Each structure stands twice: as structure tokens, then as C-alpha cells.
Amino acid sequence: MITTHNGPQPADFTDVRATNLAVVLRFVRAHAPCSRADIAAATGLNKTTVSSLVGELIDRRLLRETGLTEHRIGRPATMIVVDGSPYAAVGLEISTDYLAAVAVDLRGERLLTWRRSFTGQGAGSSKAVAAVATLARRAVARVRDDGREVLGINVGVPGLVDAGGVVRSATSLGWRDVGLRDDLRAALGNPDYPVAVENDANLAVLAEYRYGAHAGVANLAYLTGQAGIGAGIISDGRLLRGARGFGGEIGHLAIDPAGPTCPCGRTGCLEAVAGIGAVLRKLGHDSLVDAEIGVADVVRRAQQREPEVLAVLTQLGRDLGHGASILANLVNPEVVLLGGYYAPLAPWVIEVATAELAARTVAPQAGGARIVASTLGYNATATGGAAGVLETVDSGRLPTA
Amino acid sequence: MITTHNGPQPADFTDVRATNLAVVLRFVRAHAPCSRADIAAATGLNKTTVSSLVGELIDRRLLRETGLTEHRIGRPATMIVVDGSPYAAVGLEISTDYLAAVAVDLRGERLLTWRRSFTGQGAGSSKAVAAVATLARRAVARVRDDGREVLGINVGVPGLVDAGGVVRSATSLGWRDVGLRDDLRAALGNPDYPVAVENDANLAVLAEYRYGAHAGVANLAYLTGQAGIGAGIISDGRLLRGARGFGGEIGHLAIDPAGPTCPCGRTGCLEAVAGIGAVLRKLGHDSLVDAEIGVADVVRRAQQREPEVLAVLTQLGRDLGHGASILANLVNPEVVLLGGYYAPLAPWVIEVATAELAARTVAPQAGGARIVASTLGYNATATGGAAGVLETVDSGRLPTA
């Protein structure tokens, strides 16, 4: 069936029960507390169906009845809310210089936020798998100690991730064709919960869309500020993945043909001129291993108005504005978020970037796009991993009770 | 409500009846002939609701019962199909050198295809409105002579069109802030059918998605080959418009900083180096008024292997491959269609363009993207205009019976 309109979508006609469970679950998430009658009235599903769906969701401990009742004409109606307590979703991130873990419950409450330094560059995938598996095991144990079931694990990686959870390439980690999902499943002893792998920028923008300062903004873009630069794009309320999940690869667009050669072999890539590694090298930090320390030093020197530092950050602003303008021209976002190591540098970058964005975007006022610093810090990708797990539940793939 | 999953979408809870009418209409379009029981079984709507919905769609003459009946266990079921005969959708295009009109019925049957030359450049919007209104009136009259009601009119323009049908800017037409929708409505005497205006590339890709050689391909991009270059993008089965409808503006991305100055004031824009105007000028045709004749001449000279022509087309291939690679990296389409005047030049362009695309795309094998020539010819945008009208019906905004 062919349809491109942006209104309500048709059921996919394959699993009506799952579709309707998802509709009810999302309605309650958005409108709780509400009654079965509210759900029936709002969704058009008949009351018998709604009662059966709500019953199943209560049995699976996704919803619960409250003491609250609503006194309308007729008998009082029991009010229903999403039950946060029985489940948790775990998100992880493998970065070039740290690992992160976040767990959230079904209501989006954050249960844990961990981060530890890790030498990802040249570490090799087996070492990374072992390290992330250890972190995942600890997160799962913590969550289970609180009496929760794990809904799933979702790992963000700075690279191309295909539908099978294989990292086709991750330049900044030096990976090629790493079967991360299966390796991690094996390292975790083939657990009963699903394990997924996703591009880090996709997860970061998902976190922004669900929990960030611009949550719910239907057209949103996020630029990762790690060794590599990736874009996560929310278009009309949905994550833009593309045909094979390879969308958002902005880091190797040639923005300066006269620029430096990129490790990828191309010339003048956005990543080669504006990646945090390039910025730190220009300012005398020759390694990414302690990028956080390096960036803190750059911030300190910028606060002291060191001309060399201000010049480098001004150029960074121009380059990021150029990158943002490509997004503004092609996908017309309302907000472009600067994430990762760019966020602390934002005070010296955003004004120049905004001017460059406006100059390079065809639409007046950059099509309404604003460049802002992400507020989710270094946990954006891991938080998005957990959000991704919740999305699968929201789409009707419910945990088996 | 926040959701980004790509499975079945929730109803938007505002107009359940319209949503369900749309679900039934799209199901019948995809699965006709089918019975009321089939629809109920597939959509999860209860049979009473389905009968009432089908009844309304029959009353509005969008569906009709066939003589066919399906003999299952129990009494025979009357089979239902989409009724093509009562309605028509009209699409139009305003180009720099022609006007086009297409009408299709609810089943997608083409009812008329007209094209006339028109000097759009510098003609001024009032002259264009008068000319397109005349063409629209004739198309509407023809459709009504066949006893059909007009579902709506949708006009494609090579420029930025906002949600109010105002053309914010159309460089190749020399327009700025033209209230085309309202002007056209007025010129048509404020008709009872809706009048819409949309970017030409968006409509062209909609036509490809619905009727083209790659219909149904969920991630699809289209490059217009007119005086300007625009991209139409279908992402995961939906038209990518962006926050203000300004997505797909690929024509003024700087692909060659050492290149010529663009009428837009920027340097090395894709349009300035690879627009059909630039190609014709390089080959001694100094005007776009007879672009079709010019392109036919270029084709003839290319067939005769004129080195100068082959060199220009090779460079065109490189530049279009570069443009396609930006789409491949950011939105990862399966197919990039070369439309308009690029289609006849495709035999001398595609091989070079494909190599450039592969070289500049991060994902292996260009993320699976192929560059192909559009087969819809000069009617793609007008056909997409009609398709756009049908989309609004498919989304539940039904004609008032």
C-alpha cells in the first residue's frame, strides 16, 4: 500500500492485536490517568476490545489501576496509569574514550547513569565487547536487585550499523564488519531480553526527542561531538534511518576541498576540519584519549580570551554552521543540537555558527532552524538506547509476561 | 505524545471517524476486491463500524459494491472495490519554460495529460497565475464533461512554498513572496474544491512513489532537472517536508567553492554548475526559453560523440553524483531519480555519476543507492500534484457528498 500523507497512519494489517495494544499503551502514556471509557472514546476501539486490551496490559504489568475513580454520570470509572515499577530499559554507549550506561523505567524515570573512561581507539572490538558486556551485566544486576525485569539492551556506536546489528564501519574505533549484537549477546550468555545496536547519533537524537530540552519537536537534528561527527535526524516525529539505517552520515561530506586529508581518504571532510580531535590538535592536545581534559582546558583558555583559542573556536563555529546548513537545506529542522564535546564549547561557537547557517540556507531565517547546545551531556546516546527499547514496547512488541 | 518507531502509527485521537474512513479506503485500494468481513478482520474495527464506514464511503461514491460475491462458509459476501468513475484529481506544474496539467481518477487512471510552452522566467507571477488558471479551468471543464467531480487542484512550483501556499522564493521564476494559492483561487472564482501549492520536487517524487518505475520504494529521492535543481525525498514511505516545508533544497549547496557565482549570490552552488541552464550555456545555447530544443540538440551531438559535449556531460555526471552522494550520506535512499531535462541526458551521465556517488558515500556500495533516469518525463510534477490530492482523500479528508 502506498501512502505518504503525514496524518494518522493505517494499521499495517499484520498484527492488529499488537497495533491496538500499542495504541492503548501510548494513549495512556500521553493522557494518564484515564478510564477505559476515555480510551474507547479516543481510539474508536469498542469498549469490549479496550477492556480486553487494558486487561492484557495490566496482566503484563505495563499498566496499573489507581485508587482514583472518575465520577461521571453512571457508575464510577477506575483510572489507569502506566506502571513504572516492574520494568527497566538499559542503554549503553561505546565511544572512543568512554563507555556509558543508563537505565530508565517505563515512565521515563532515570534509574541509573554510569560512565567510565575507556580507550576505544585501536582497542579492538573484542576488548570493547568484553568491557561493554561487563558494564551491561552490572547494570542488569542493579536493575534486577530493584526487582525489575529488563525490557532490553540497546548499544550506541559511532559508526554504520546495519539491520543485523553488525557495525559495518566505525572509523574512530578502527572497526570494520564487527558483529557487535551477536558478540554481545554471546558475552551476556544469550539473555532472554533483546539486545540491539544502533548508530550513536540516532540514539542521541531519540533521547533529545523524548527527554531533552526540545522534547517533542517534530523536526530535530543532533550533531555528535566526538572523534567523529554524525547527525541524528528526527523528521516529522520519526527517526530518519534510511533504506539500510545509514542516514545521517554528515561527517565525511566535503565542506572544504582545500582542507586536510581525512583518515577516510577523502579531502576536507567535516570531521577532518571540525571533529573534536582536529580542534584539540590545533590547540596542542595531540590525543583523543583524554578528550574531556583537553576540552576542559580549551574552555578555560577561551574564558581567558586566548586569541589563538578564540580563533580556532570561531572557525569551528563556521564549519559547524556550514554542516548545519546542509541539514537545514535538506531536512529543514527546527532545532540543530550540538552534542558531546561541542556542548561545553557552544558559548564560543553558536553565534558564528548561526550566522553561517543563515548565510548558507536558501530558506529565509534558515527555515526557522536554531543551533543550540544539547543539555543531555555525555549520556545522550545511552539515554537514547534506553528510549529505543521503550519505543519497541510502545510499538506493540510487549515483554512476554 | 512522543513516538518515533516506524511501525503502525497511533490514531491522532482527534478525528477517529476520519481516521477509520481513511484506513478502510486505503485497505480497499490495496486489497480490492474484498468483503466487509475482510476489512473487519484486517483492521480490527468491529463489523458494525466497518459496515457504517463502508456505507458512508459508498454514499460518497468512493467505494462501490461489485456483482462479485465471495462464497465462504455462511452467506455470500458482497465484494467492494474503489470507484474510479465519480471523481478526478487535477495536478499542474509551473516551470520556467512550460505549463503542464494532469488529471487522474481515484484508482490512479490518467484522464488527461497536457503540456504547453510558457515563458516563466521574468514573466511575473500575475501572468503565470492567469496562464495556469486558464489551463486549470480547461482541465476542470474536461473532467466535468466526463461527469466527474473535481477532488482538488494541486500546483507544483520550482521554489520554496510555505504552509499557506505562498511561494516564498522561486529564483528561476524570479518570484518572491507570491501568494499563489490565494491568487489562483481568486482567478478560478473561489471554487468549491481545494486548491493547493507545493514544491515541484516534492510532487515529482510523490508521483514516482505512487506511479513511477520504482513505485512503493520506501526511501526514494528525485532530482529535478529544470533551470533549478531541487530534491524530492520519500523517507520510510513518507514525503520529507521538514518543519516549514522547505526540505530538499539541494540546488544551492556549495559543491565547488572554486566554481561560478550563482544568481542566488553564493558561489559554486550545485545549480550554478550542474543546472540545465549551465549545461546548455557551456554548449552554446544561451537561453532556457527553448531548453527542450537545446537538450534535444545536446542529445544529438552526444550521439555523434562530439568530444566537447561528452566532456560537458561527463562533468555533469560528476556533479550530479556529488549531489546524489549528499542525499545518500544524509537520507540513505535506495534510488536517486534524475528527472526533467536530465532524463534524456542520462545515458551519458549515469555511469560517471554512479562512480562519483560511490566514491563520496561513506556507506559501502553507496548505502545501496542507485542513480536512474525518471520514466515519468515532463509530467512528473503535475502527476504528483494529482497524487497529492488523492493523498488528502486517502488521509480521510473526504469530498463532501
Q: Which of B1, B6, B9 to mutate to test the interface with A (most CBs of A within 10 A)?
A: B9
Query: What ipTM was estimated for this complex?
Result: 0.91
Distance (Å, whole) CA A366 – CA A371: 10
pTM of the shown model: 0.92
Distance (Å, whole) CA A185 – CA B166: 54
Q: Which residue from B8, B29, B244 is facing A363, i.e. has the nearest CB?
A: B244
Q: Which residue from A13, A23, A233 is facing B10, i.e. has the nearest CB?
A: A23
Distance (Å, whole) CA B169 – CA B162: 10
The CB density around residue B71, as the number of other CB atoms within 10 Å, is 8
The whole-angstrom distance between A41's CA and the closest CA on chain B is: 9
Distance (Å, whole) CA A272 – CA A253: 10
Going by their DSSP bridges, the two strands A195-199 and A149-157 should be labelled as parallel
Percent above pLDDT 70 for chain B = 94
Nearest to residue A69, comparing CAs of A80, A77, A59? A77
Q: B45 falls in which pLDDT band (50, 70, 90)?
A: confident
Q: Of B15 and B350, which is predicted with more confidence? A: B350
Distance (Å, whole) CA B199 – CA B163: 11
Cβ separation A243–B334 shorter than 8 A: yes
Cβ separation B1–A26 shorter than 8 A: yes
Amino acid in the structure at residue B62: L
Phi then psi for residue B352, to 5 deg, are -65, -45
Residues of chain A with Cβ-Cβ distance to B27 below 8 Å are 1, 10, 13
Q: Residue A121 pLDDT > 80, yes or no?
A: no
Q: Residue B56 pLDDT > 80, yes or no?
A: yes
Residues of chain A with Cβ-Cβ distance to B266 below 8 Å are 360
Q: Which residue bears the cell 472518575? A: A70
pLDDT value of position A14:
47
Cβ separation A362–B1 shorter than 8 A: no
Which residue on chain B is closest to A11 by alpha carbon? B8
Sign of CA dihedral A380, A382, A383, A388: positive
Nearest to residue B285, comparing CAs of B263, B303, B277? B277
Q: A71 falls in which pLDDT band (50, 70, 90)?
A: low
Span A87-93, average pLDDT: 97
The whole-angstrom distance between A302's CA and the closest CA on chain B is: 30
Alpha helices in B283-361 (DSSP H): 291-303, 307-331, 342-345, 350-360
DSSP class of residue A223 equals: E
Q: Which residue from A46, A252, A394 is facing B362, i.e. has the nearest CB?
A: A252
Q: Which residue from B1, B22, B247 is facing A330, i.e. has the nearest CB?
A: B247
Residues of chain B with Cβ-Cβ distance to A251 below 8 Å are 362
Q: Which residue bears the cell 550520506? A: B329
Tell me the three cell numbers of residue A301: 583558555
Give the CB-side neighbour count of residue B100, counting CA atoms within 13 A: 24
CA–chain centroid gap for B266, Å, is 28
pLDDT value of position B10:
41
Q: Of A132 and B392, which is predicted with more confidence? A: A132
Please compute Rg for chain A using Cα positions: 23
Taking only the tens place, the pLDDT of each residue in A186-216 is 999 999 999 999 999 999 999 999 999 999 9
Distance (Å, whole) CA B3 – CA A281: 40
Percent above pLDDT 70 for chain A = 94
Cβ separation B253–A329 shorter than 8 A: yes
Span B353-374, average pLDDT: 97
Average pLDDT across chain A, whole number: 91
Distance (Å, whole) CA B383 – CA B385: 5
Cβ separation A2–B210 shorter than 8 A: yes
Contact B290, B97 (CB under 8 A): yes
Percent above pLDDT 90 for chain B = 75
Q: Of B401 and A351, which is predicted with more confidence? A: A351
Q: Could you give the strand order of the β-sheet that contains A220-223, starting from the edge strand earlier in sequence?
A: A238-239, A231-235, A220-223, A335-338, A370-373
**Dmax of chain A from CA atoms?**
76
From residue A339, alpha-carbon distances to A83, A233, A242, B381 in Å are: 32, 13, 22, 39
Spatial neighbors of A207 by CB under 8 A, at least 6 apart, are A376, A379, A380, A381, A383, A384, A387
Distance (Å, whole) CA A338 – CA A223: 5
The whole-angstrom distance between B299's CA and the closest CA on chain A is: 31
Q: A318 falls in which pLDDT band (50, 70, 90)?
A: very high
pLDDT value of position A244:
96
Distance (Å, whole) CA A96 – CA B293: 56
Q: Which residue from A257, A264, A333 is facing B242, i.e. has the nearest CB?
A: A333
Amino acid in the structure at residue A271: E
Q: Residue B51 pLDDT > 90, yes or no?
A: yes
